[in-house]
Structure 1
Amino acid sequence: MTRSEDVGQGQQQYDVVISGASLAGCAAAILLARQGVRVALLERRTDPAAYKVLCTHSLTANAYPVLAELGLTEALDRTGAPHNDARWWTRWGWIEPKAAPGGPELPYGYNIRRSKLDPLIRDRAAGTPGVDLLLGHQVSGLIREDGRTQGVRVTTPDGERELRARLVVGADGKDSAVARHAGIAARQYENGRFGYLAQYRDLPLAGGSGQVWFLEPDMAYAFPNEDGVTVLAVLVRKQEHLAAFREDVEGSFLKFVRALPEAPPVDRAQRISKFIGTVNYPLQSRRPTAPGLALIGDAALTTDPLWGVGCGWALESARWLAEVVGPALAAGGPLDRPLAAYAWRHRRRLSPHQLLAADYAKARPFNPMERLVFAAAARDAALARHMHRFASRLISPARFLAPAVLARAAAVNLRHRRAAPSQGGAVRS
């Protein structure tokens, strides 16, 4: 815990104030404090064990380097959090990524419920020298002087107070109060699907790995988590399914799951949670910086939960910000150029993924290019590994759909079509 400087009645001075002590906020606090930066980490909730409920509970492989830098991988292993291996059902068969013979294991992240993960990383942040974790602190406004954000006004259990800082970071989710007070509007993309999930115990999955069903355009997934719990979710078109779910969530959920190809035996499992979901969950993007201010995690970009990448991007964006602003904050240097560098990196790394996700959120079937690659990945081990790297957000959309990849996919599908008649099977494009 750091000692802040008193600068006046009811005021304290920090280098950084971070609003939101969830994944992005805690990661940024830890990484900045390690560089000698004084951090106030604010959390509106008063319970240190509070956690996000609506989540895929999955950390994709792109998050692994950040988790390792935070020193959390061993702790996650001790919880029994499974690696987030998965196989994906398509109309061309299962895509089952496996390591190449004699090659390295596939990159992995973890499946872990937020009820375990959030308190774990928050405790790590609170124990980091240089971090003040301030529970029950809700941002009620920004302090702005000379066109820059210079701190925050907060509501606390003990009344109002002001916290001044050279940088204010919004890590407070898709409905970010920091962004709202700064006047940073969100660009929204309609999501044509809605989703519900529930947690089940004793729900066996084929091969012991996660399962994802691409039903074109409906979706479902089952991810094993720690303590023998599996998170089961359905993400379906509003136009076709919303009325039925509004009438009977449980019945509609179970009916959909039972009809899945090679469906998990949900009727023999024990449901241990409520059905959790949302009908309206648009994708949205915000400008990630302003003078004296930065946004990370869902505050900067909220994508389709269908892909389960939000936690990974929250951790990555925290790391990107800490890498560029940490040295300037520790040295007392100017922040405009580091903030511009963060904004450029955030847009370059995430905007192409967001555009693809926004297009698929229209709840449409696969387009011709997607059919080409998904069909080939169900038939070719190298392309299945390529799919795994993209689903883990370790490669960009440009690399995922590179000309050489498309050429290989076309060749794989052509060989399959030529071989299918002689094997007596139906030809599937």
Structure 2
Amino acid sequence: MTKGHAAPGSATADVVVCGSGVAGLAAACALGRLGLDVTLLEKKKRQPPVAKGEILQPGSLDTLQEWGVLPALEARRAVRLKRLVARQADGAELLAMDFGTLRCAWPWMLSHDHTTILECLAESLGASVRWRRGVLVEDVLTDAHGRVVGVRAAEGANEYDIRARLVVAADGMSSRLRRLAGMTADPVAYGHKLLTLELSGTPAPADEASAYLTERGLVLVYPLPDGRTRVYVQVKADELRRADQTRLQRWCDELLAAVPALDPLAVLVKDSLDRRQLLPVWRYRAPSLVRPGIVLVGEAAHGVHPLAAQGMNTAIGDARALAARLATVRVREEATLDEAMRAYEAERMGRIRDIHFMSHDAARLMTGTSPGVRRLNRHLLVRTAKSARLRYLTTYNVSGVGMRPLGAVDRLVQLGVLPARGRLPRPGPAPE
């Protein structure tokens, strides 16, 4: 770590946010709305398109409405998804999570390209936010007591320091800021990857996302704007390594044979193979979110399987909760700032833990490939669907509106040891 005084040409800010993905843009937006002087740094000069982070949950939409992001997304033809449905490979419904059963202002998910979501967040940044692209954060600045008091940045050949009351690390799973601050996270890779395809010119879509339980694992399908459809296919880590065109076509034929529900999209699936992306899948939680002068948000702090679409939405929740804590204190007073950061950590750690476990449970339900595991998972999904209480709780938890983890009795109902329980009174939104 760099200790001591600021270098020549240094700058100051109330807050420095490092990374301008969803977490960084959300944090800069939320903190800028408090009137704080925010500097947002991003090492990339342009955001490359990636096939992830495309679904916003109902629990995030109220925040995005408040920030002015939701109207911008809907003006760009974002797609409303009113249900998330687990299905058999032939399309038969196993469990439907209907967001219309929730008591919330926006009872649907919203899908759009990741780059468009970033653009709409960027447009919502206030006048007190300065955004610098092409800037690499090389180190953190600390005082004599080890408190983080800013960052050392490099912009081309120019190096300079930015002093700040708070540094927000929003620089992703392999966060450099987290490491420099002496904080840890231990990502665990799932035993599979996700191959992603974007189909153009698809038929008029249903207003839902479908997750198929198949012999090869998870297949996830949902619509995007402008007549496009996203398809995720679970593959073994090395399944398509060095695959030539003949091997790809054979793999595609095997996929279509294993998932008859994809028949209407068969030609488009084959045509999209050359534009495929392959994404590794991780899960992790940092054991701590704060150190004096620095806080982790988004994928710098946590990562989950993308099936339940919680990663981007949890990052938005981080930003909202962080701003709520800072709104009540004077950021320039270290003692009150540290107290607010401890309160933020205590609040978010429980929420992140519950989302982590829920997302992992959902992934295990849909990604098992052995016949015995698939039979058990199908049984659990069907039993959940038969119980009004479990169906509602599952929908509520996935929606991001709140979290009511399933209890021991609920698990026994899922297994069929106990009969289905009655309808749960609809819980109101839980605080973030």
TM-score exceeds 0.5: yes
- 8 Å contact from structure 1 (residues 22, 51) kept in 2: no
| 1:247 is aligned to 2:243 | yes
- Quote the Cα distance in structure 2 between the aligned partners of 1:101 and 1:151: 46
| 1:180 is aligned to 2:187 | no
- Quote the Cα distance in structure 2 between the aligned partners of 1:101 and 1:157: 53
- For 1:124, the equivalent position in structure 2 comes to 124
Greater shift in the superposed pair: 135-144 or 92-101:
92-101
- 8 Å contact from structure 1 (residues 202, 228) kept in 2: yes
| 1:392 is aligned to 2:393 | no
Return 5+ residue gaps in structure 2 as ranges: 422-432
Report the AA paired with residue 284 of structure 1.
Y
- Aligned pairs for 1:368-379 within 5 A: 373-379=380-386
Report the AA paired with residue 154 of structure 1.
A
- Quote the Cα distance in structure 2 between the aligned partners of 1:57 and 1:217: 24
- Aligned pairs for 1:81-96 within 5 A: 81-85=78-82, 86-90=84-88, 93-96=93-96
- Quote the Cα distance in structure 2 between the aligned partners of 1:236 and 1:113: 23
- 8 Å contact from structure 1 (residues 199, 230) kept in 2: yes
- For 2:275, the equivalent position in structure 1 comes to 274
- After superposition, the Cα gap between the structure-2 partners of 1:276 and 1:101, relative to the gap in structure 1 and judged at 3 Å, is closer
- For 2:19, the equivalent position in structure 1 comes to 20
- 8 Å contact from structure 1 (residues 380, 412) kept in 2: no
Provide the secondary structure at the position in 1 that maps to 2:401: coil
- Quote the Cα distance in structure 2 between the aligned partners of 1:290 and 1:104: 35
- Aligned pairs for 1:215-294 within 5 A: 215=214, 218-238=217-237, 242-244=238-240, 246-248=242-244, 250-251=248-249, 252-253=251-252, 255-269=254-268, 271=272, 274-278=275-279, 280-286=280-286, 287-294=288-295
Provide the secondary structure at the position in 1 that maps to 2:259: coil
The number of equivalent residue pairs is: 401
- 8 Å contact from structure 1 (residues 14, 163) kept in 2: yes
- For 1:418, the equivalent position in structure 2 comes to none
Distance apart, 1:355 and its partner CA = 3.4
Greater shift in the superposed pair: 374-383 or 343-352:
374-383
- Quote the Cα distance in structure 2 between the aligned partners of 1:312 and 1:77: 17
- Quote the Cα distance in structure 2 between the aligned partners of 1:206 and 1:196: 21
- After superposition, the Cα gap between the structure-2 partners of 1:258 and 1:289, relative to the gap in structure 1 and judged at 3 Å, is farther
Distance apart, 1:204 and its partner CA = 3.2
Q: 2:357 aligns with which of 355, 358, 361?
A: 355
Provide the secondary structure at the position in 1 that maps to 2:262: coil
- For 2:73, the equivalent position in structure 1 comes to 76
- Quote the Cα distance in structure 2 between the aligned partners of 1:26 and 1:277: 25
- Quote the Cα distance in structure 1 between the aligned partners of 2:99 and 2:304: 29
Q: 1:338 aligns with which of 337, 340, 348?
A: 340
- 8 Å contact from structure 1 (residues 205, 264) kept in 2: no
Distance apart, 1:168 and its partner CA = 0.4
Question: What's the C-alpha RMSD, in Å, of the aligned pairs?
Answer: 3.3
Provide the secondary structure at the position in 2 that maps to 1:76: helix
- After superposition, the Cα gap between the structure-2 partners of 1:244 and 1:25, relative to the gap in structure 1 and judged at 3 Å, is closer
- After superposition, the Cα gap between the structure-2 partners of 1:31 and 1:101, relative to the gap in structure 1 and judged at 3 Å, is closer
Cα deviations by residue, 1:320-378 (Å, 9 ceiling, x for unpaired):
11111243245645321111111112210011332354467675465999656411344
- Quote the Cα distance in structure 2 between the aligned partners of 1:123 and 1:68: 13
- For 2:138, the equivalent position in structure 1 comes to 140
Taking structure 2 as the reference length, what is the TM-score of the superposition?
Answer: 0.82
- 8 Å contact from structure 2 (residues 308, 362) kept in 1: no
- For 1:59, the equivalent position in structure 2 comes to 56
- 8 Å contact from structure 2 (residues 192, 234) kept in 1: yes
- Quote the Cα distance in structure 1 between the aligned partners of 2:274 and 2:117: 17
- Quote the Cα distance in structure 2 between the aligned partners of 1:368 and 1:267: 27
Greater shift in the superposed pair: 301-310 or 82-91:
82-91
